[in-house]
Amino acid sequence: MEIITAVKGFKDILAPETDTWRHIETTALDVFRTFGFSEIRVPLVEKTELFRRGIGESTDIVEKEMYTFIDRGDESLTLRPEATASVIRAYLEHGLPTAESITKLFTIGPMFRRERPQKGRYRQFHQIDVEVLGPDAPQIDAELILMLMHFLGRLGCEQLSLQINSLGCAQCRPVFREAVVRYLSAGKDGLCPDCLRRLDTNPLRVFDCKVEQCGEVIANAPLLLGFLCPPCADHFTKLQACLNLFSVPFRVNPKMVRGLDYYTRTAFEVTTQSSGAQNAILGGGRYDHLVRDLGGPDVSGIGFAIGIERLAALMPEGKTYGAPGPRLFIAALGDRAVESGFTLCNRLRIQGIPVEIDYAGRSLKSQMKRADKMQSSFALIVGDREIEENSALLRNMHTGTQDKVALDDVDAIITILAR
């Protein structure tokens, strides 16, 4: 009978990759806590309306990538394609906003988008998502980016490039949008069918198009930075000054627009210079109207999300994050030895010592080979004679030295194992 395989675009994560993921997650926890963040866990499923309103009707995610279904109660539900809208929903639902307060939250977990799977792009992927809700001071943007780059540095990720841009606000962006529409309409013939459609629905998305002919049209398009109103320009200048203060390297990329509709002012991405189709490992930005658009008070926000699959692929080569080999391997030979090995092994484990044993009745040679392969620090060879004498030899696998131990004296064994 054929085995049933996983669904296309959904993948299993096995060791040692799971060890790398765990290392990434615990490092995130450590760094984020230092910067005053607390963890929130939000459901995988939300009302579809949340994402339609939050992410924007004319984004790729809402238009064609969401896993939406009608629940038995005739309610339209969606597997979350990102976490920002959910975090804000929870923030509002639990009454977290208070006057003058700042709320710093992070969440880690799977997201779902029905994209075309390829290297670095999956239908279930995982994000480390960070959100700050509160005032809109540029120091908050800088602090968030500083924390992010510090986190990536702690992981030892190199050859990354931070790109920032300002997407303006409700005052200056419409003026820019009009200028772009005017410019693109004049060069309409050079645009792909998708971009022709975007011209009406979401013209700034044309900047993100990967089709070569669109790239040529875009090359000379007007840039938002030239249209920023004085408060937005000032915010962007201050952000850059703060980043310079901490010598955070960045490049201003005036063509970076991001794929979600909620952004205002600061937008940023970190890309890798290594080759491959998916080079953005994270993206984020400020969203000054999203909380209000989701029914909340006038609270600003900024955040980012890192793709764990893409980050894990960039971790330093040759490093492993798994647990070291066991402290002890018990090579048990014969039925009585297996029985006594079983007792000793699990008594030691309950004391917190990692121990392995082989119950398969293999030869001494093959058991010792296994102990070596597992990089066990010690080996205890127990046969029927040792059981009779209640003593066995405990061998240090690195130095070759041996100690005679009483099989029932667990404390003495622990003392030697601790050396």
Residues that bind ligand HAM (CB under 6 A): 82, 84, 113, 115, 121-122, 125, 127, 129, 131, 259-260, 280-285, 303-305, 307, 309-310
* Contacts with 317 (C-beta within 8 Å, 6 or more apart), sequence order: none
Distance of closest approach, residue 413 Cβ to ligand HAM, in angstroms: 48
One-character DSSP codes across 200-260: HH-GGGGGG---HHHHHHHTT---GGGG--HHHHHHHHHHHHHHHHTT---EE-TT---SS
Instruction: Specify the DSSP class assigned to residue 63.
Output: I
- CA R_g for the chain: 28
Distance of closest approach, residue 157 Cβ to ligand HAM, in angstroms: 13
Residue nearer to ligand HAM on the CB measure, 173 or 286: 286
Residue nearer to ligand HAM on the CB measure, 288 or 356: 288
- φ, ψ of residue 207 to 5 degrees: the values are -65, -25
Distance of closest approach, residue 305 Cβ to ligand HAM, in angstroms: 4
Residue nearer to ligand HAM on the CB measure, 256 or 333: 256
Q: Residue 315 corresponds to which tokens in the numbers above?
A: 């971790």
What is the spatial distance between Cα 166 and Cα 401, in angstroms, rounded to a whole number?
Answer: 66
Residue recorded with tokens 């804000």: 88
Residue nearer to ligand HAM on the CB measure, 92 or 416: 92
Other residues' Cβ atoms within 10 Å of the Cβ of residue 194: 14
Residue nearer to ligand HAM on the CB measure, 47 or 336: 47
Residue nearer to ligand HAM on the CB measure, 168 or 285: 285
Distance of closest approach, residue 409 Cβ to ligand HAM, in angstroms: 54
Residue nearer to ligand HAM on the CB measure, 117 or 231: 117
Distance of closest approach, residue 69 Cβ to ligand HAM, in angstroms: 19
Distance of closest approach, residue 176 Cβ to ligand HAM, in angstroms: 21
The 3-class SS string of 254-284 reads CCCCCCCCCCCCEEEEEEECCCCCCCEEEEE
What is the spatial distance between Cα 315 and Cα 75, in angstroms, rounded to a whole number?
Answer: 42
| 361-to-335, 357, 374 alpha-carbon distances in Å | 8, 10, 18
* 235 in Cβ contact with 266 (< 8 Å): yes
Distance of closest approach, residue 303 Cβ to ligand HAM, in angstroms: 3
Distance of closest approach, residue 2 Cβ to ligand HAM, in angstroms: 28
**69-107 CB burial, b ≥16 within 10 A, e <16:** eeeeeeeebbbbbbbbbbbbbbbbeeebbeeeeebbbbb
Report which residue's Cβ sits closest to ligand HAM. Answer: 307
HSE value, Cβ hemisphere, 13 Å, CA-based, for 393:
9
Distance of closest approach, residue 301 Cβ to ligand HAM, in angstroms: 7
Residue nearer to ligand HAM on the CB measure, 311 or 381: 311
Residue nearer to ligand HAM on the CB measure, 140 or 281: 281
Q: Among candidates 44, 118, 124, which has minimal Cα distance to 85?
A: 44
Residue nearer to ligand HAM on the CB measure, 112 or 236: 112
Distance of closest approach, residue 412 Cβ to ligand HAM, in angstroms: 52
Task: Give the helix, strand, coil percentages of the chain, each rounded to 5.
Answer: 40, 20, 40
